[in-house]
Every structure is written in C-alpha cells, then in structure tokens.
C-alpha cells in the first residue's frame, strides 16, 4: 500500500514539474497573442502602421494561434497594408483570411470600405460564377412571367371559357284549341 502511494506521489510531483509549466506557457502565449492583436489594432487606429505590421508579424510567428485569432490578425494586417497602399500585400493576406474562413464577410459599418471591397474582389476572383449561371435568372424571370400570365388569364376568364350568347328566341308555344 505504501509503495502504491509513493508511486502516485512521485507521479503527481512529476506532473506538476513537467506538464503544468507547459499549460501555463500555452495560456501565456494565447494571452500574448490577444495582447499583440489588441496593440496592433490600437496602433492601426492611431496611424502607426509600421508598428501595427510589426506587432502582427510577431503575433503570426507564434504557433499556438487558433483560427479565430489568426483571422483577427489577418484582418488587422490587411487593413494596415491597405492604409499604407500596399495593395498586393493586402490582397495576399485577404486570400489567407478567406482560406481560413471562406464565409468571412465584412460589413461596411464595421470595416473600412476599401477593405470590404478588397474582400469581395478576392472572393469573386477565387469563386468565379459557374458557366451558365447567368441563365438561371433568365429562367426565373421567364417562369415568373408565365405564372403571372396564367393567373391573369384565370382571373379575367370567368368559368374558364367565354359565355355563349344566344339572341335567338325560341318558338312560340302552340295555340290552344277553341271549344
């Protein structure tokens, strides 16, 4: 019994010595990534674009970024590149951003208009419309027009056919016999 408790005690001590510092460093790296992205965003808003780029590049060198943090970092980096008129670099970053999250869609209320435009341009270039997809609107329009025509015909054509007008009077009844 004492031997089993010694082994357990040694295991727990080793666990504290080896595993817990690794967990602490991972959470510190995440905190560091949050702090770097926040500082980069602040530098961007203050117009310190070179500092914002440097902070984001430092953040991207960390290997523990999850997709959400990586997305945030790419957004700040692309916006900063656009502010510096590095349009090609911004385009490359937006491509990486859409690789991580293809459904990402910035809004004009929350993001600068040039950034929103760039994201939509990159999305269109990476996902060109399918051949013949323009024809679907033609088919939808034609189907709608056909439906409207059918409904109009039914409404204005009572009983489904034209009423027969007969102006001819019938034969008069026979005359009664006189007694």
**Matching residue, tokens 């996902």:** 127
Question: Is the predicted pLDDT of residue 67 greater than 80, yes or no?
Answer: yes
Question: Is the predicted pLDDT of residue 61 greater than 70, yes or no?
Answer: yes
Asked, for residue 166, whether it belongs to a domain, the answer is no
Rounded to whole angstroms, how far apart are CA atoms 1 and 23? 32
Q: How confident is the model at residue 86 (pLDDT cuts 50, 70, 90)?
A: very high
Q: What is the mean pLDDT of the chain?
A: 79
Asked, for residue 153, whether it belongs to a domain, the answer is no
Asked, for residue 95, whether it belongs to a domain, the answer is yes
CATH number, position 25: 1.25.40.10
Asked, for residue 73, whether it belongs to a domain, the answer is yes
For residue 135, how many C-alpha atoms fall within 13 Å in the half-sphere facing its CB?
A: 3
Domains contained in the chain, number? 1
pLDDT at 37: 92
Contact 44, 79 (CB under 8 A): yes
**Matching residue, tokens 């295991």:** 11
**Matching residue, tokens 């459904």:** 103
Give the structural domain span for 26: 2-126
Rounded to whole angstroms, how far apart are CA atoms 75 and 101? 11
pLDDT at 142: 74
């Amino acid at each position: 019994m004492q031997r089993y408790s010694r082994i357990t005690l040694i295991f727990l001590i080793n666990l504290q010595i080896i595993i817990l510092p690794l967990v602490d460093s991972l959470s510190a790296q995440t905190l560091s990534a949050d702090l770097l992205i926040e500082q980069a965003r602040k530098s961007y808003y203050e117009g310190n674009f070179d500092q914002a780029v440097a902070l984001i590049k430092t953040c991207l060198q960390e290997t523990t970024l999850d997709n959400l943090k990586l997305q945030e970092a790419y957004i700040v980096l692309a916006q900063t590149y656009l502010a510096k008129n590095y349009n090609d670099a911004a385009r490359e970053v937006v491509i990486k951003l859409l690789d991580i999250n293809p459904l990402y869609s910035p809004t004009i209320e929350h993001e600068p208009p040039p950034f929103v435009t760039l994201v939509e341009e990159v999305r269109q270039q990476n996902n060109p419309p399918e051949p013949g997809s323009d024809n679907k609107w033609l088919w939808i329009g034609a189907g709608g027009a056909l439906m409207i025509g059918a409904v109009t015909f039914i409404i204005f054509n009572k009983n489904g056919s034209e009423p027969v007008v007969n102006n001819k009077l019938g034969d008069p009844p026979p005359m009664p016999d006189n007694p």
